[in-house]
Structures are given as structure tokens and as C-alpha cells.
Structure 1
Amino acid sequence: MDEKNHHFLNEETVEDVATKFKALADPTRVKILYLLTQEECSVGHIAEVLQMTQSAVSHQLSYLKQLRLVKSRRVGQSFIYRYDDEHVIEILKQMIRHSLHD
């Protein structure tokens, strides 16, 4: 049997990857992130487009912001959200393309 040297990931990296996949495992978060690939949005706009309550959208955005998958900027009284991790968005888009492929 060949003896090989294996490269192992440290626990911090493993946990970070698993957490990001967990974030993408939620249908609501997939919808929000996909919408944010098309335009920057306020909580109200996301709620309207996805037919959700603003409270539910805010909860999901808070989770995504904590993971640094989205970020916000203040415009007047509102916060405008956009995605903040091009790598995760590319994975999301690849999975969407894969799901649509026959």
C-alpha cells in the first residue's frame, strides 16, 4: 500500500466552510442572495419581491451579515443590502445552473 502525505484542513476552516454551506441550505436565504445578485435592495423591497414579512427578511439578513455574506449601507432612514462574498455567490450561481441543467 502506498504511503501518502495528506493535507488536512484546520478545524477553523472546516467550520467556516460548513457554516457557509449551512447558510446556502436555507431556501429563503438562497432567494435573498439570488435577488441581491441582481440589485441592491432595502428590507422592504426584498420583503415585497419575495412576499415575506419585513421581520422575516431582517432576521435572515442579520444572519447573512453575521457570516459576512451581505453588507449594508445607510441611505436616509433605510439600509440598502448587497452581497459581500463573490466566492459564495459564484458557488450559488453554479448550483443554480447545475439545478437548471437537464
Structure 2
Amino acid sequence: MSVYSHEPPVDADRVSAVMASLPPQAAIEGLAEVFGLLADPGRLRLMAALLEGGEMCVRDLAAACGQSESSVSHALRLLRLNRVVKVRRSGRMAYYRLADSHVRMLFDLALTHVTHDEGDHRE
């Protein structure tokens, strides 16, 4: 059954059930793009600032995160193209916010995971 092994699986029924329940390849590729995008500490810092500050402009985000306005603008463009943040324009100003509650939950859950007490994960 496996494309990587000539040996039959140990539990063919379980393997078949798992294969049938896996997300489609396009969804897996989309996940890889989003997780790759979120693998950058600068972009994660921007997300944390938006999580705490709500809607913010580029200048304020740059000041809060200790980054240049150009690097913040570039990061926000990537995050917007991948539907992680949304933008609202008011005159010449652009205000950014996290796109939806899914992004907030993803960020919060990942942050909880990495800050969770190491003592609970003994092998």
C-alpha cells in the first residue's frame, strides 16, 4: 500500500482508515505555506503585537516590535496575502489586525505549547 515500502503494512485496516481521513494534498500544502510564513520570529512578533494591541498602523507596529517600518510593511504584506492579517484603510493610513479568531487560536495554542511547563513532558 505504501509508495515508500514494498512491505505490506502491519495493520492494513488502520492504514486505510488513516489514509482516507487525511486532508487533501492542497490543504496540506496550504498548511505548509502558513506554517512556513509563521516560522519567522519577526512576523510572529507582529502577530503578538496585533493580538495584544488590536488594530494598529505600520508605524506603531514598528515601534512596538523594534523593527523598521519597511520590514514591518513587507511582513504585513506577506501575512495579508496569506490571509493571516486584514487591512483597513483610512485616508493615507493603513491599519492592520489579525484576520479572524482562527489565527488568534492558532497563535495562542502554539504559544501555550512552547511556554508549557517542561516538567510535564518527561519521556
Query: Under a length normalisation based on structure 2, what TM-score does the superposition of the two structures give?
Result: 0.76
Which residue does the alignment assign to 1:73?
88
Provide the C-alpha distance between the structure 2 equivalents of 1:24 and 1:52, rounded to a whole number of angstroms: 17
Between the aligned residues of both structures, percent identity stands at 32
SS at 1:62 equivalent = helix
Distance 1:15 1:85, change over 3 A: farther
Matches within 5 A, 1:10-29: 10-29=24-43
Deviations 1:11-68 (A, max 9, x none): 2111101011111111011111111112110000001111111100000000000001
Distance 1:98 1:56, change over 3 A: same
Partner letter of residue 85 of structure 1? D
Q: 1:56 aligns with which of 56, 64, 71?
A: 71
Provide the C-alpha distance between the structure 1 equivalents of 2:94 and 2:104, rounded to a whole number of angstroms: 21
**Structure 2 unaligned blocks of 5 or more:** 1-9, 118-123
Provide the C-alpha distance between the structure 2 equivalents of 1:85 and 1:37, rounded to a whole number of angstroms: 11
Query: Under a length normalisation based on structure 1, what TM-score does the superposition of the two structures give?
Result: 0.90
Matches within 5 A, 1:91-102: 91-102=106-117
Provide the C-alpha distance between the structure 2 equivalents of 1:61 and 1:69, rounded to a whole number of angstroms: 9
How much does 1:98 deviate? 2.0
Higher RCO structure (Cα 8 Å, ≥6 apart): 1
**Structure 1 unaligned blocks of 5 or more:** none
Provide the C-alpha distance between the structure 1 equivalents of 2:28 and 2:100, rounded to a whole number of angstroms: 18
Q: Does 1:84 align with 2:93?
A: no
- Structure 1 runs of 4+ with >3 Å offset: none
